[in-house]
Amino acid sequence: MKTYLSVLSFLLISLSSCGQDQQEVKENDVPITVSEAYTYETVVPDLTNPWGMTFLPDGSLLITEKEGKLIHYKNDEKTEISGLPELSNRGQGGLLDIQIAPDYAESGWIYITYSSTQGEEKGANTALMRAKLSGTQLTDQQILYKASPNTTKGQHFGSRIVFDDAGHVFFTAGERGERDVNPQDITRDNGKVYRLNLDGSIPQDNPFVGVENAKEAIWSYGHRNPQGMIINPETQEIWVHEHGPRGGDEINVIKKGANYGWPVITYGINYSGTPITDETQKEGMEQPLYYWVPSIAPSGFALVTSDAYPELKGNLLVGSLKFVYLEALYLNSNDEVIKREKLLDGIGRVRNVVQGPDGMIYVGVEGVGIVKLIKK
């Protein structure tokens, strides 16, 4: 894939990806337009923060509410699932992503990320667990990975989940607000993309297996706060998007053992307006496929592969928390972003985007619920 470079200087970046009100200086070099071609239909109403969702084989939905509720939505009814592990609903932490296993029909495993309080230190850190659904209760719970140490900081937990077709689960964990300590150190958790076998064991071909003191679950490092992750079902490439600081949200193509630079290189600046670094490129560190100026505060990520939206097929959808819309990013044959569109402009803080088994796009919107994207 070719790297997509912005022509703007990072000193012109003027918006915080955390949503503070700040004056825009310039838009990114790919202008964004507003599409009036779409509307939506509410599928699951009255949700506060639908962080994650996954479809069960019968077409029903499992939905995580960040505050610590797991909801089964079936036949127009919401049922709260009991038996969740202890978690910390603090800042950006809580009950986060959820995905069913590729072999769910046989195994029944459901994978969940959350801010776990397990450990001796106060606070929490990102954990990946799996469990089974028995009626209205989670059973057979297994913690597959728990990042450490805990911290009482409330930011940058990650955390999305995808599976490849070779029996691996990938998940993300943000750097927990410790940018100068965690993301560049492979002996420490956080600021990483992790790769495990489905049972939680470490694949022996992970890049840092056998490296002294390394966290052997690491697949890539140098990340800030990845809240979107997709896998191309044809190529098996994994793409991640992550929050930048003030400016510089990124889309990265994830490679085995690669360093994505945070905070040594970045196209963002501190929220105060001061520089983080004067470097945007460095040997041995990956460049983003694309980055946003100003930040949009991205959360949720989908690659459209169905025929339900021919005009969107083969392109990307990303939720914007800050600017309250669903963004379509159109790619050329070199995977360069050549066009941006706002879909559902003003709908609310878009937290998650999923292509359902019916080929339709489902969007989790804070304070609204789950909606279905409809072409007018």
Q: Which residues carry out catalysis? A: 156
Lookup: tokens for 341: 């569109």
CA-CA distance, 88 to 107, in Å (whole number)? Answer: 29
- Reference 136, options 205, 232, 70; nearest CA is 70
CA-CA distance, 165 to 219, in Å (whole number)? Answer: 16
3-state secondary structure of 106: helix
What is the full DSSP assignment across 226-291?
EEEEEE-TTT--EEEEE--SBS-EEEEEE-TT-B--TTTS-S-B-TTS--S-S-S--TTSPPPSEE
Strands 95-100 and 77-81: unpaired
Residue type, 177: G
Lookup: tokens for 202: 């470490």
Residue whose pair of structure tokens reads 């969107």 in the numeric block: 312
Lookup: tokens for 367: 């304070």
